[in-house]
Amino acid sequence: MGEEFRRSLQEYQQRNEEEQVEQRPLKGYKNQNLRSQQTFQVYQQQQIPYDKNNSDIIKQQNYQHQQIQDNNFEKFPQQQNIQSSVYTNRHQNYRRDEKQMLKLQDYQQQFNKINYRNQIPQQQNICYQFQTQFLRANNYYNIQELRANFKTLEQLNNNHFPPQNSFFVLIRPKNGFQNIHKAIKYGIWCSTPAVNKELSELYSHTASVYLIFFPLGQSSKLIGIAQMTSDFDPEQSYKFWDHEGIYKGSFQLIWHYIKNVDPNCIEELSYQYNIRDEVKYCKIDQFRDGTIIQQDEALKIFEIFNQASDNSSVFELFNALDIQEDQKRNNVFKNQEKVEDLQKQKKLNKKYQY
């Protein structure tokens, strides 16, 4: 009986082992993980047997590894230095490229913010045929021709000194050179309603109000100085501004200086920024549109314009801006003709209704 019982137990154990072996194989990453565990266990058994006190074996292996490295370094020291230098150079180049990319991204964001306005056309269209008639000059580099053709430029770039008790206002247009081009030729200007109100109040006190033009965005230079010759008239509005419908009304100007002046030549200006009339000194770049400049500081700006050269000015862009004005006028006239035709058709339809 004892032998039969033992045989039955052995058979039962063999059957259980066969059933465990005949299980379904694992799929995908589970099978890979199981294989990696098995190989790791085999490697561990071969290299370092699993014992509680195997620290001596690990120390020996580390010591051997260090000796091998020292021997290699003694045999080939130049190669080791080259490898280390190559690694450091790659790391430094990678960091430098990252910084350059970040700078480029910031520059692109600033560039997109600044260039929301229309770009100035190129000056390569020499054989352009104008479709409309308006005031323009053949040569914008000849000051005598400009003084003869344009009434607003009769006193251009003559040494001018403003009288006492006169006001000086900084004008910072946002629409680029398109509106300044028209202000120089036709002697008109219109700003925001708040600035127009301030200018009319100043003109009511004294008739000598000077405007210092310093546009935003496209140019980091002062363009010129003009003088108001009339009060603000809300009824007389110019049709061909860059943005239609925004600027309503206008006042007349005379230009004394049209030159490019670097703002770094101007010292820090005073500015009252509090109800208590606290004075703060800052650069002209930080001033907003319509800020009043004190007379002592404004006279220094006049001296800088007197000493500046006539070689660089806004007139360099006037040939291209004339082309843009011609296109603007042509589009406006076409739209007016379409509106007139529609009005005529409406009148005819009303007349012949049955």
**AA letter at 304:** I
Does the residue 9 lie in any domain?
Answer: no
List the pLDDT tens digit at each of the 354 positions of the chain: 557 767 776 776 676 655 544 445 554 544 545 555 555 555 455 554 545 456 677 777 777 767 776 666 565 555 555 555 555 555 556 566 666 666 666 656 665 555 534 444 445 445 778 888 888 888 888 899 999 989 999 999 888 889 888 999 999 988 778 889 999 999 999 998 999 999 999 999 888 999 999 988 756 789 999 999 999 998 888 888 887 678 888 999 999 999 999 888 888 888 766 555 677 888 888 888 898 999 999 999 999 999 988 888 999 999 888 888 888 888 887 877 766 666 666 665 655 454
pLDDT of residue 343: 67
Residue 58 lies in a domain: no
pLDDT of residue 284: 87
The bridge status of strand 209-213 relative to strand 222-228 is antiparallel
H-type alpha helices, the chain: 2-21, 29-47, 55-75, 77-114, 143-149, 178-186, 193-205, 295-307, 318-351
Question: Tell me, what amino acid is at 334?
Answer: K
C-alpha to C-alpha distance for 190 and 248, rounded to whole angstroms: 7
Q: Are strands 167-171 and 209-213 parallel, antiparallel or unpaired?
A: parallel
Residue 73 in any domain: the answer is: no
3-state secondary structure of 315: helix
Distance of CA 325 to the CA centre of its chain: 26
> In this structure, are strands 222-228 and 269-272 parallel, antiparallel, or unpaired?
unpaired
Q: CATH number, domain at 206?
A: 3.10.590.10
CA-angle at 264, arms to 261 and 267, nearest 5°: 110
What pLDDT is stored for residue 116 in this prediction? 39
Predicted pLDDT of residue 265: 87
Q: Please report whether residue 311 resides in a domain.
A: yes
State the residue range of the domain holding 179: 143-339
Cβ(237)–Cβ(250) under 8 Å?
Answer: yes
pLDDT at 186: 92
- In a domain, residue 345? The reply is no
Q: Let me know if residue 167 belongs to a domain.
A: yes
Whether 17 maps to a domain, the answer reads: no
Residue 92 is predicted with a pLDDT of 59
Confirm if 305 and 156 have CB atoms less than 8 A apart.
no
- Look at residues 306, 301, 315, 307 and name the one whose alpha carbon lies nearest to residue 150: 315
Distance CA 157, CA 259 (A): 8
Any domain includes 25:
no
Contacts of residue 220, defined as CB under 8 A and 6 or more positions apart, other chains included, come to 263, 285
Residues 217-234: b if buried by 16+ CB within 10 A, e if exposed: ebbebbbbbbbbeeebee
Report the number of distinct structural domains present in the chain: 1
Give Cα 67 distance to the centre of its chain: 59
Residue 133 one-letter amino acid: Q
